[in-house]
């Protein structure tokens, strides 16, 4: 029998896949895992402080008790009638679990559901949007898709929108690499528009137009514009004027808006989160404005990343035929996981005043959000004290994105090693101190500037450790590579 040489090699892999980059789980993170494993196995070295990933519960954030308790009863329904639990779980937990099971197919969270998710849960998401944005119209459950987190939902949309190799998607610089990675893997064009760091990572209509015109001059057909609000990695919460500018730009240019609003419950500054859906209605554009917005259980004070729950909302102007095509593509993998769907149910309909769990819920929620607020402030302040480092305020999300000045000597060493200067900085930081952050080159940045993204999710005492380790490292790094 002839046995061929290896066939599944780089030469034989889809070139769009090869061209794809995804830094959030790239080489620095792989190395951090390795160091962590080694240190734990051998009981040596400083502990790795993982600041690379928006993964709150891994770092000690407690889940909301009510949500988890309901979910466990849905998993083992015989617990609902278990007397022994009556003291431990609050009364409304039992009621809620019964209610949810009444609309899960077959009363079992082990069933496949409708491709778009359980109808009643979609109805509740629709009601949540109406109430959040004070809309004068009803949102149709037919326009809601429950998904395994926001990421696959966004990937489905991009799959439809990248029509051919001339298709372009406008994304912010910096952006979350889900966008760049997916667009690359589909063979489309990533068309960046710059956020203005000196103005707190603000967004401007003139920059949108510049970016659009430049792409147009290259023959690129702009299909959609991505806005991440609150911003990842920037931490920016957009003011209403920016939302209006974006909407006007999209309407004028015939571009679909993808509104990534997964951090809508992570707001720490004075400026509140405002949804695009609400502003579109204020502008009386609901009938014509085509937009898809995304939300998730992974962020906010829930932090239920592992649950993979989320939804996308197609604005009323999105055509039935586009929804049908999305339905078909989502159907191929059947449906999103039911526990994730249940978590979305709980997220959009948490305990209310008067419910047995209400007080505990509010207490837990507020404790998480206020700790995040304190930690964001502390981290950003500490960066301001480092030589050659500036950091915009983190008004929202889970990240700070400081700008660092990398000495010319270090840039040269990085070049020699064939890595970006900020990747070099971050790898040195990891190797020296165990602090794991992600270089700005993975998110995009103005040419010649360097950044890194760090979360502020570690417990408060560990944040102190992060700031002191970075401080010492930074001084040594500057000295080592000074001219």
CB 360 within 8 A of CB 232: no
Instruction: Give the range of 78-86, 131-139, 369-377, 475-483 binding its own copies by CB under 8 A.
Output: 78-86
Structure-derived torsion over alpha carbons of residues 322, 326, 327, 331, reported in degrees to the nearest 10: 160
Judged by CB under 8 A, the residue of 38, 131, 199, 288 near its own copies is 288
| Residue ranges in 313-352 that form contacts with its own copies under rule CB under 8 A | 317-319, 321-322, 325, 327-329, 331-340
CB burial of residue 76 (10 Å; 0-12, 13-18, 19+)? exposed
Question: Does residue 19 belong to the site contacting its own copies (CB under 8 A)?
Answer: no
Nearest residue (CB) to its own copies, 300 versus 402:
300
Nearer to its own copies (CB atom), residue 27 or residue 272: 27
- Beta carbon of residue 198, minimum distance to its own copies (angstroms, whole number): 29
Residue number with CB closer to its own copies (330 or 386): 330
**Dist. CA 24–CA 372, nearest whole Å:** 21
Mask for 200-239, x = binds its own copies (CB under 8 A): -----------------------x----------------
What would the two tokens of residue 203 be?
């967004």
- 254 binds its own copies per the rule CB under 8 A: yes
Based on the shown chain and the rule CB under 8 A, indicate whether residue 55 belongs to the binding site for its own copies: yes
Q: CB 197: neighbour CB atoms within 10 A?
A: 20
Q: How far is the CB of 290 from its own copies (least distance, A)?
A: 5
Give CA separation, 252 vs 155, 285, 342, 364, in Å. Answer: 25, 12, 39, 44
Work out whether 364 is an interface residue with its own copies (CB under 8 A): no
* Shortest reach from residue 227's CB to its own copies, in Å: 17
| Spatial CB neighbours of 377, under 8 Å, sequence gap ≥ 6 | 268, 394
Residue selected from 31, 35, 36, 58 as contacting its own copies according to rule CB under 8 A: 58
- Measured from the CB atom, the residue of 274 and 343 that comes closer to its own copies is 343
**Structure tokens that stand for 239 in this block:** 């003011």
Does residue 462 touch its own copies according to CB under 8 A? Answer: no
Question: Taking CB under 8 A as the criterion, which residues in 99-158 touch its own copies?
Answer: 104-106, 108-115, 148-149, 151-152, 155
Give the 3-state secondary structure of 251-307: HHHCCEEEEECCCCCCECCCCCCCCHHHHHHHCCCCCCCCEEEEEECCCCCCCCHHH
Q: Is 259 in the site for its own copies (CB under 8 A)?
A: no
Q: Is 359 helix (H, G, I), strand (E, B) or coil?
A: helix
- Minimum distance from CB of 473 to its own copies (Å)? 26
Q: Is the Cβ of residue 240 or residue 328 nearer to its own copies in the bound state?
A: 328
Give the DSSP letter of residue 116: T
Under the binding rule (CB under 8 A), the answer on residue 76 touching its own copies is yes
> What residues numbered 169-198 form the site for its own copies, per CB under 8 A?
177-178, 181-182, 185
Examine residue 78 and tell whether it contacts its own copies (CB under 8 A): yes
Which stretch in 133-141, 206-214, 311-319, 438-446 sits in contact with its own copies by CB under 8 A?
311-319
Out of 304, 355, 422, 428, the residue judged to bind its own copies by CB under 8 A: 304
How, if at all, do strands 167-173 and 221-228 pair? Answer: parallel
CB 118 within 8 A of CB 263: no
CB of 186 closer than 8 Å to CB of 158: yes
Rule CB under 8 A: say whether 416 interacts with its own copies.
no
Tokens of 55: 């993964």
8 Å CB contact between 171 and 163: no
- Smallest gap from residue 19 Cβ to its own copies (A): 11
Instruction: Kindly state the smallest distance separating residue 441's Cβ from its own copies, in Å.
Output: 16
Phi, psi angle pair for 123, to nearest 5°: -60, -40
Residue 163 interacts with its own copies (CB under 8 A)? yes
CB of 101 to its own copies, least distance (A): 12
Structure tokens at 179: 């966008």
Using the minimum distance from each CB to its own copies, give the nearer residue, 85 or 130.
Answer: 85
Could you say whether residue 159 binds its own copies (CB under 8 A)?
yes
CA 388 to chain centre: 29
Closest CB 52 distance from its own copies, rounded Å: 11
- The reply to whether 281 sits near its own copies by the rule CB under 8 A is no
Peptide bond between residue 233 and the one before it cis (omega within 30 degrees of 0): yes
Assess 242 for contact with its own copies (CB under 8 A).
no
Pick one of 22, 103, 273, 358: the residue that binds its own copies (CB under 8 A).
Answer: 22
Nearest to 387 by CA among 370, 375, 404: 404
Residue 41 makes contact with its own copies by CB under 8 A: no
Binding flag, residue 9, its own copies (CB under 8 A):
yes
Cα separation, 316 vs 293, in Å, equals 12
# residues contacting its own copies (CB under 8 A): 111
Backbone angles phi, psi at 79, to 5 degrees: -70, -20
Residue whose CB is less far from its own copies, 329 or 356: 329
């Amino acid at each position: 029998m002839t046995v061929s040489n290896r066939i599944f090699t780089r030469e034989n892999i889809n070139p769009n896949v090869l061209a794809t980059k995804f830094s959030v789980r790239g080489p620095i993170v792989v190395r951090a895992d390795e160091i962590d494993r080694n240190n734990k196995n051998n009981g040596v070295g400083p502990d790795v402080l993982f600041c690379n990933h928006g993964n709150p519960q891994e770092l000690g954030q407690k889940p909301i008790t009510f949500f988890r308790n309901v979910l466990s009863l849905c998993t083992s329904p015989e617990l609902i009638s278990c007397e022994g639990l009556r003291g431990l779980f609050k009364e409304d937990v039992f009621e809620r679990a019964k209610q949810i099971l009444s609309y899960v197919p077959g009363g079992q969270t082990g069933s496949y559901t409708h491709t778009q998710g359980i109808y009643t849960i979609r109805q509740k998401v629709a009601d949540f949007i109406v109430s959040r944005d004070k809309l004068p119209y009803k949102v149709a459950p037919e326009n809601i898709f429950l998904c395994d987190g926001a990421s696959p939902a966004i990937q489905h949309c991009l799959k439809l929108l990248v029509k051919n190799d001339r298709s372009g998607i406008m994304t912010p610089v910096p952006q979350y690499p889900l966008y760049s990675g997916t667009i690359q893997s589909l063979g489309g064009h990533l068309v960046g528009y710059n956020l203005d760091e000196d103005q707190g990572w603000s967004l401007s209509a003139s920059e949108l137009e510049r970016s659009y015109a430049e792409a147009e001059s290259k023959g690129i057909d702009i299909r959609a514009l991505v806005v991440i609000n609150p911003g990842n990695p920037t931490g920016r919460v957009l003011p209403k004027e920016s939302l209006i500018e974006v909407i006007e730009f999209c309407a004028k240019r015939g571009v679909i808006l993808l509104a990534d609003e997964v951090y809508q419950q992570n707001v720490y500054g004075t400026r509140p989160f405002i949804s695009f859906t609400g502003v579109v209605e204020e502008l009386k554009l609901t009938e014509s404005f085509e937009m898809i917005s995304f939300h998730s259980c992974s962020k906010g004070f829930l932090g239920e990343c592992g649950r993979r729950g989320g939804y996308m909302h197609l604005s009323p102007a999105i055509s039935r035929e586009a929804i049908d095509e999305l339905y078909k593509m989502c159907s191929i993998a059947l449906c999103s996981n039911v526990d994730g769907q249940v978590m979305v149910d709980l997220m959009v309909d948490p305990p209310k005043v008067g419910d047995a769990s209400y007080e505990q819920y509010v207490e837990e929620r507020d404790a998480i959000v206020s700790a995040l607020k304190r930690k964001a402030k502390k981290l950003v302040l500490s960066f301001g004290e480092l030589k050659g480092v500036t950091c915009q305020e983190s008004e929202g999300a889970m990240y700070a994105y400081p700008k660092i000045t990398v000495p010319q000597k270090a840039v040269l060493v990085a070049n020699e090693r064939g890595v970006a200067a900020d990747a070099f900085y971050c790898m040195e930081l990891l190797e020296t101190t165990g602090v794991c952050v992600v270089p700005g080159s993975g998110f995009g940045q103005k040419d010649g500037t360097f950044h890194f993204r760090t979360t502020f999710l570690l417990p408060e005492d560990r944040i102190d450790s992060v700031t002191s380790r970075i401080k010492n490292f930074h001084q040594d790094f500057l000295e080592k590579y000074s001219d």
